[in-house]
Structure 1
C-alpha cells in the first residue's frame, strides 16, 4: 500500500512539473528575436491597454472594465494566427465578456482621443470606442457588436476599401485627403 501511495505522489509531482511554467519562454523568445506574444492579454487600466496594443504586445487585447487611455491608443505590430510564420495576419480588441455559448454579457467602453490602427486585420469587437479611429493598415473590422462614437478616418482609399464596418459609427467615415 505504501508503494502505491509513493508511486501516486511521484506521478502527481511529475504531472505538476510538466504542466507548470518556468517563465523562460518569454526570455527565450526575446533572445531569438521574437517581438510579439501570441497569448491573450488582460488589461486592467489604460497603461496596460497601451502595452498590450503595442508592437511588443499580444495578438488579442482584452480590457477588463471601462477605461480611459490618455492620448492615443496605437495598435501596432504584425501578429499571426497561432504564432505560426505562415498563419493569417490577425489582431483583436475584445472589449466584452462572454458566456460559455459566446453570448456577450458585458461590453466595455474604451475612452481615448484616438485609436490608431497600424496592425493589419484588426478586429474591434463587442465594445464601445469613445473617440475617433484613424486607420493606417489594411483589413480593419468594426464588428457588428461594436460602436465608435467618433469619426473613422482612413489614411487612404485602399485601407477604406479593405475595411468592414459592420458595427455602428456615430461620427463621419472618410478618407484623409
Structure 2
C-alpha cells in the first residue's frame, strides 16, 4: 500500500512538472483568491509574474505581508498572531488600469472560495495591531480582530469586519477609504496622527 502511494505521488508530481514546463505563458492574470483546490501557480504576463500566497500559519502570513511578499495573501484557517503586523510594499496585480498602466493592488483574503468564486469559508485573523502601508490594499471576506492603522491611500474593506478600531494616520488615507455595505467596524473610525 505504501509503495502504491509513493508511485502515485511521484507520477502526479512528474505529470505536474511536465505540464508546467510545456505550457506557454498565459496573458490573463488571476483575478480572485484561489480556492485550496486550485494550484497556487504564478500567472504570467509578458513582463509581470503575480502569485498568491496561500497560508495556514503565522510565519507564512508574516512573510507574505512583507515588502518581499505577494500581492494577494489568502488564509486557509483562523490565525492568531501575537505580534504587530505590517502590510508593506507596493505590488502590481498583473492587470492594467484605465490609463494602460500596471494596476497596483494588495489583498488580504480571509476566506476560501469554490471554482464559481462563491465564498465557502471565512476566517478570523487576530493580532494586536495591523498597519496598512501598501497602497490600494483591502481586507476581504473575513474578520480582523485588533486595531488597524491605515497609512496608505485607497484602503478598502470588502465583505469584511474589523473587531477593533480603524485609525487613519493621514488625511489622504482617511478621505480615500472605502467599505461596502457588507463590511463593518465595531470600534471608532478616526484620524490619529
TM bracket, shorter-chain basis: 0.7 to 0.9
Aligned-pair CA distance for 1:66: 0.2
TM-score (norm 1): 0.77
Query: Unpaired runs of 5+ in structure 2?
Result: 1-14, 24-47
Q: Whose helix fraction is larger, Structure 1's or Structure 2's?
A: 1
Determine the C-alpha separation between the residues in 2 that align with 1:68 and 1:157.
30
Q: Using the TM superposition, give the Cα deviation of residue 98 of structure 1 relative to its aligned residue in structure 2, in angstroms.
A: 1.2
Return the match for 2:126 from 95, 111, 114.
Answer: 111
TM-score by length of 2: 0.71
Residue pair 1:37, 1:59 contacting (<8 A) in 2 also: no
1:28 — aligned with what? none
RMSD between superposed Cα atoms in Å: 2.4
Match of 1:50 in 2: 62
Aligned counterpart, 1:25: none
Aligned pairs, number: 149
- Map of 2:22 onto structure 1: 18
Which residue of the other structure, out of 73, 79, 88, is the alignment partner of 1:76?
88
Tell me by how many angstroms 1:83 deviates: 7.6
The 4+ residue runs of structure 1 with deviation greater than 6 A are: none
* Rg (Cα) greater in structure: 1
Q: Distance in 1 between matches of 2:170 and 2:54?
A: 32
Q: For each residue in 1:131-171, what CA deviation from the matched residue of structure 2 results, as whole angstroms up to 9, or x when unmatched? A: 1100010010011x100000000001111001102211001
Question: Distance in 2 between the 1:37 and 1:60 partners?
Answer: 12
Distance 1:173 1:37, change over 3 A: farther
Q: Tell me the alpha carbon deviations over residues 18-57 of structure 1, each in whole angstroms, 9 at most, x when there is no partner.
A: 24xxxxxxxxxxxxxxxx9720001111111010000000
